[in-house]
Amino acid sequence: MEQRTFQLFPEQASSIAGSVDGLYAYLVILSAFFSVLIFFLVVFFAIKYRKKDNSVPKPVDEHSIGGLLLEITWSVIPLGLTMVMFGWGASIVFQESRPPADSLEVFVTGKQWMWKIQHAEGAREINELHIPVNRDVRLTMTSEDVIHDFYVPAFRTKADVLPGRYTTEWFRPTRVGAYHIFCAEYCGTKHSGMIGTVYVMPEQDYNTWLAAGSGEGSMAEQGQALFNQLGCGNCHASAVNKNNGRCPNLAGLFGTTVDLKDGGRVKFDEAYIRESVLYPQSKIVAGYDDIMPTFKGLLTEDGLLKVVEYVKSLGPRNGTQTPAAPGSVMTSATEQQAPAQSRPAARQTAAQGNR
Ligand code: CUA
Dump pLDDT digits (tens) for 122-135: 788 899 999 999 99
* Whether the CB of 191 sits within 6 Å of ligand 1: yes
Shortest-distance atom of ligand 1 to CA 194: 1
Low-confidence ranges of the chain (pLDDT < 70): 1-4, 60-65, 213-215, 237-245, 316-355
Q: How far, in Å, CA of 69 to CA of 320, rounded?
A: 61
Whole-number pLDDT of residue 335: 35
Q: How far, in Å, CA of 21 to CA of 88, rounded?
A: 12
* Whether the CB of 108 sits within 6 Å of ligand 1: no
* Whether the CB of 154 sits within 6 Å of ligand 1: no
Structure letter (DSSP) for residue 173 = B
* Whether the CB of 111 sits within 6 Å of ligand 1: no
Contact (CB, 8 A) for 146 and 187: yes
Whole-number pLDDT of residue 328: 37
Give me the amino acid identity at 153.
Answer: P
Q: How far, in Å, CA of 13 to CA of 137, rounded?
A: 13
Tell how far the Cα of 186 is from the centroid of ligand 1, in angstroms: 5
Q: Is 216 helix (H, G, I), strand (E, B) or coil?
A: coil
Tell how far the Cα of 141 is from the centroid of ligand 1, in angstroms: 13
Tell how far the Cα of 189 is from the centroid of ligand 1, in angstroms: 9
Shortest-distance atom of ligand 1 to CA 110: 1
Tell how far the Cα of 146 is from the centroid of ligand 1, in angstroms: 8
Q: How far, in Å, CA of 186 to CA of 184, rounded?
A: 7
Whole-number pLDDT of residue 343: 38
Tell me the DSSP string of 134-172: TS-EEEEEEESSS-EEEEEGGGTEEEEE-BTS-EEEEE-
* Whether the CB of 186 sits within 6 Å of ligand 1: yes
Whole-number pLDDT of residue 115: 94
Tell how far the Cα of 197 is from the centroid of ligand 1, in angstroms: 15
Tell how far the Cα of 42 is from the centroid of ligand 1, in angstroms: 44
Tell how far the Cα of 139 is from the centroid of ligand 1, in angstroms: 17
Tell me the DSSP string of 257-300: EEEBTTS-EEE-SHHHHHHHHH-TTSSPBTT--S-PPP-TTTS-
Strand pairing report for 196-201 and 257-259: unpaired
* Whether the CB of 194 sits within 6 Å of ligand 1: yes
Shortest-distance atom of ligand 1 to CA 186: 2
Whole-number pLDDT of residue 3: 56
* Whether the CB of 172 sits within 6 Å of ligand 1: no
Tell how far the Cα of 127 is from the centroid of ligand 1, in angstroms: 12
Tell me the DSSP string of 14-57: BTTHHHHHHHHHHHHHHHHHHHHHHHHHHHHHHHHT---SSPPP
Tell how far the Cα of 161 is from the centroid of ligand 1, in angstroms: 9
Compute the Cα dihedral for 112, 118, 124, 125 and give only its sign. negative
* Whether the CB of 306 sits within 6 Å of ligand 1: no
* Whether the CB of 138 sits within 6 Å of ligand 1: no
Shortest-distance atom of ligand 1 to CA 113: 1
What's the order of all strands across the beta sheet hosting 137-143?
A: 124-126, 114-119, 104-111, 137-143, 167-171
Residue nearest to atom 1 of ligand 1 (CA): 148
